[in-house]
Amino acid sequence: MKYYSLHQNAPAVSFKEAVIRGLAPDKGLYFPEDISPLPKEFIDNLADYSREEIAYRAIAQFVGNEIPKDELQKIIKETLAFDFPVVPVTNAIASLELFHGPTMAFKDVGARFMARCLGYFNRDNEDEVTVLVATSGDTGGAVAHGFLGVKGVKVVILYPSGKVSDIQEKQLTTLGQNIQALEVDGFFDDCQDMVKQAFLDTAIKPTLTSANSINIARWLPQMFYFFFAYKELYQQHEDIVFSVPSGNYGNICAGIMAQKLGLPIKHFVAAANSNNTVTEYLKHGTYSPKPSIATISNAMDVGNPSNFIRIEKLFDNNFERLKQQFSSYSYSDDATREAMKVLFNQHQYLSDPHGAVGYLGAVDHLQKYPEDYCVFLETAHPVKFLDTVEHTVATKVAIPPQIAAVLPKEKSAIPISNYRELKQFLNKE
């Protein structure tokens, strides 16, 4: 399998090269040259296969022969070492809970898969690779945990000061070892812009790769849990729709890739907060990135989502085809809080702000298509947003062991304000 840049001004590369590079030299995101649908017989009989078998069949063509089958199966087994339950909320809506991993966020899947792939590629290499990643919240903790102690890999995480929750900050600033956090005076988009600039700066000394969803090894394995949810539901429900809380659009893009492989998902809803670039694009046909706005669903505070170009490619850059199978709604913080209250008080379901936005997307979709069955993605445990959740629904949230373990630890982060300071840090290391 070869990967090409969506800017189409860089050489095609192997899976290994795409993982290590992260971003193509022309600033484009890598995309597979070929996508072969899985056999219909396999899709029709998903109930007969284990999660590990399904994940292997989904990802194998994208890895090719660059990781031996037994090693790839081992990577998948270690990646999927926790549950992905589908929890009914109403007669027509369910929650796909993606927070049962070590950092209690959906990004554990991509981070664990990528870390193990990079560890395999770097097993005999004495040169260190620096994973440079920007986070709006959960990516940082998932990447930090996933790469902790991986041989030959140093992790540098940029996060916006004061714009991640206290628990999220603890998860990415307290691990030590090969993990270093940089606290940026700015927004997530500033962090992401600095990361992209560093990749294109030939004066940066370390070998850089990214663990944001721009990296194919972070993005593609997120297909897995769409397959798992479909496996659990398809024998009872015919028209299945996923409502995905969307910020950088990697997660929903992975779902669309699963659909491209043959998973018969009827429709996707991109549920956004006030950062509504894609919502407005679908309304007016003009894509106009804008500065991000801080919200209570901070992991979605992205004004210029990187992965949307991949979504357009999956629909052959056909706007009308895109709108047939993909819609988007955006919601204010007030609407998000009200949804959290409805979920808790009427349905006895405790949601984090991101899941609440996904729930709102499902509700709006069902108003137009009441015959469908909607699954919203609960992308993080409510404890990750403790103050917001407890203040909104007036209940105490139990602290899970994964979170309790980091709370007493001391934060360690280096403050930076601009790209010059990031470059100095990278070249000094």
Judge contact between 55 and 328, C-beta under 8 A: no
Per-residue b or e along 337-366, where b marks 16 or more CB atoms closer than 10 Å to that residue's CB: bebbebbbeeeebbbbbbbbbbbbbbbbbb
Is the CA virtual torsion 166, 377, 108, 399 positive or negative? positive
Residue 134 has φ and ψ, to the nearest 5°, of -100, 145
Residue type at 60 in one-letter notation: A
Q: Is 107 a catalytic residue?
A: yes
Give yes or no for residue 124 having a pLDDT over 80: no
What is the pLDDT, as a whole number, of residue 196? 85
Q: How far apart are CA 126 and CA 107, in angstroms?
A: 28
Give yes or no for residue 319 having a pLDDT over 70: yes
pTM check: above 0.85: yes
Q: How far apart are CA 243 and CA 271, in angstroms?
A: 6
Give yes or no for residue 206 having a pLDDT over 80: yes
Q: What is the pLDDT of residues 213-236, one digit of tens each?
A: 889 999 999 999 999 999 999 999
Q: Which of 2, 27, 40, 107 is catalytic?
A: 107
What is the pLDDT, as a whole number, of residue 336? 98
What is the pLDDT, as a whole number, of residue 15? 97
The mean of the pLDDT values for the chain is: 93
| Banded model confidence at residue 200, pLDDT cuts 50, 70, 90 | confident
